[in-house]
Amino acid sequence: MPRRHLRVTGAAREPLGAVLRELRTKLDVPEEFPADVVAEAERVAAAPPWLPDRDETAVPFFTIDPPTSTDLDQAMHLSRRPGGGYRVRYAIADVAAYVTPGGALDAEAHRRVTTLYFPDEKVPLHPTVLSEGAASLLPDQTCPAVLWTIDLDADGRTETTDVVRALVRSRAKLDYAGVQKAIDDGTAEEPLALLKDIGLLRGQLEVERGGISLDVPEQEIVASDTAYELAYRAPLPADAWNAQISLLTGMAAADLMLAAGTGILRTLPAAPDGAVGRLRRTAKALHIEWPHHVPYSDLIRSLDPRVPHHAAFLQECTTLLRGAGYTAFRGGETPALATHAAVAAPYTHCTAPLRRLVDRYTSELCLAASAERGVPEWVLTALDELPKEMADGTRRANSVERECVDLVEAALLRHRVGEIFDAVVVDVKDHEQAVGTVQLTEPAVVARVEGGASALPLGERLRVRLAQADPGTAKVLFTPA
């Protein structure tokens, strides 16, 4: 089944609470923080072990996040350079200012690895007194940050990169819909309005280097006090522009570490010929023209996810993004695989340390590289084990995502077994053409279909009957009607 890009909005209570609690037990999800971890977090939140000397609180930073988010990792300020080009200031929460290597907080972060998102609650990487309090870049709160200053030329290409520790102060907590509206109606002030200009320039550079950003609608769990619903969320242009700033920083971080000879990269090998060949066969089945001289990256940019057979093909394209991992290196030796195939350049994770363990380490590696000094010993000690830790944590996060959607889908449809729905076939198994995946128009469900006498019509509309749906015991299953 194609991977689902999941967002959770709100926090419902019952009736799924018990089933979700069972799921957390099944997946061995850590919930309550040990007493010593809480005590350390409360102590350092009240008085951080150290704070940077540099003060950049005069810069009017802003954050862009979903409306309900309070674990704010990034704040930005964008400006024009006097001689032409742009300056990107990107402040990243400085978790290392609070977490002592080898302490209780550090050990617990290595156990958790990532923040996990459930419909009824969030299981954070760090205690909320830090992740949603002292260390979060909340508006009108002075915080320690790892401050990136990246100067771009008039075409959006990186000219210089500087990374330092500094105190920062966000002025505004913005959300994607509000940002999009302000930019579209011309009311955005220049530091925000430049998000579009820089985002579009960086998007064009992505095209030039052969990178890809799949515009696949996200499946969103929307929760109220009494019920769950599912919806499809088409990403806004502002999502893509904001993502380009994060991508820019991740590429700059990779370049810094590679130049210094020590670091950790987010890597993805090129898709094997067999996978691309399968995708070409899928394109043919979906009546999508793909001339041999047209690169894969150019083809997907020509597709409209609102068109059913285009959406089906875009879902299939996600299969080429499997196999991503983390690659650590040291001693000046460049790893054999140093690039991320979807980015089409070296890249790393460095912009979400409140929610992802590895980012705290990449911040330290980049600070050391930028200052041309040695890497802290606590970073070097952990470096070799980080790829495995992140792989394990990412697998658990993916399992949580899949299982949560399955449960909500089953709960949403449990009383509608036997009903007929309109759907589109978005995936067909290679060797079992009567088995695949359908995407319902309403409600926003993506589920397995099987039991027909003939091959499923990939990318075409299909009437399906709900055969089973029972949260906790049976995933949603359809049959051709």
Average pLDDT over residues 465-471: 92
The pLDDT of residue 220: 72
Cβ within 8 Å of residue 419, ≥6 positions away? 465, 466
Neighbours of 212 (CB within 10 A): 21
Distances (CA, A) of 162 to 7, 142, 165, 253, 254: 33, 21, 10, 10, 13
Record the pTM. 0.89
Hunting for tokens 């980012």 — which residue is that? 359
- Local confidence band at 446 (pLDDT 50, 70, 90 cut-offs): confident
Q: How far is CA 82 from the centre of its chain?
A: 34
- Local confidence band at 327 (pLDDT 50, 70, 90 cut-offs): very high
Q: What is the Cβ-side half-sphere exposure of residue 380, based on CA atoms within 13 angstroms?
A: 9
The pLDDT of residue 320: 78
The pLDDT of residue 305: 75
Q: Which CATH superfamily is domain 414-480 in?
A: Nucleic acid-binding proteins (2.40.50.140)
Closest of 99, 195, 201 to residue 144, by C-alpha: 99
The pLDDT of residue 1: 32
CA–CA distance, 10 with 61 (Å, rounded to integer): 26
Give yes or no for a contact between 80 and 88, defined as CB atoms under 8 angstroms apart.
no
- Local confidence band at 225 (pLDDT 50, 70, 90 cut-offs): low
Q: Which of 204-213, 282-291, 320-329, 414-423 has the lowest mean pLDDT?
A: 282-291
- Local confidence band at 10 (pLDDT 50, 70, 90 cut-offs): low
What is the tens place of the pLDDT at every residue in 170-203? 999 999 999 999 999 999 999 999 999 999 999 9
Average pLDDT over residues 449-454: 91
Q: What is the DSSP letter of 345?
A: B
Q: How many residues belong to the chain?
A: 481
Residue 212 has pLDDT above 90, yes or no: no
CA–CA distance, 288 with 316 (Å, rounded to integer): 13
The pLDDT of residue 11: 52
Distances (CA, A) of 92 to 54, 145, 199, 349, 351: 15, 5, 19, 12, 6
- Local confidence band at 3 (pLDDT 50, 70, 90 cut-offs): very low
Residue 5 has pLDDT above 70, yes or no: no
What is the tens place of the pLDDT at every residue in 48-68? 888 999 999 999 999 999 898
Closest of 57, 56, 70, 76 to residue 140, by C-alpha: 57
Q: Which of 21-30, 92-101, 237-246, 458-467 has the lowest mean pLDDT?
A: 21-30
Domain boundaries, the chain: 6-252+398-410, 273-318, 414-480
Average pLDDT over residues 152-164: 98
Residue 319 has pLDDT above 50, yes or no: yes
- Structure-model confidence comparison of residues 293 and 262, the more confident one: 262
Q: Which of 31-45, 154-168, 297-311 has the lowest mean pLDDT?
A: 297-311
- Local confidence band at 226 (pLDDT 50, 70, 90 cut-offs): low
- Local confidence band at 274 (pLDDT 50, 70, 90 cut-offs): confident
Residue 234 has pLDDT above 90, yes or no: no
The pLDDT of residue 209: 92
Average pLDDT, the chain: 90
Q: What is the DSSP letter of 461?
A: E
CA–CA distance, 3 with 21 (Å, rounded to integer): 23
What the block records as the tokens of 447 is 């589920």
Distances (CA, A) of 142 to 55, 96, 130, 149, 439: 10, 16, 13, 19, 46
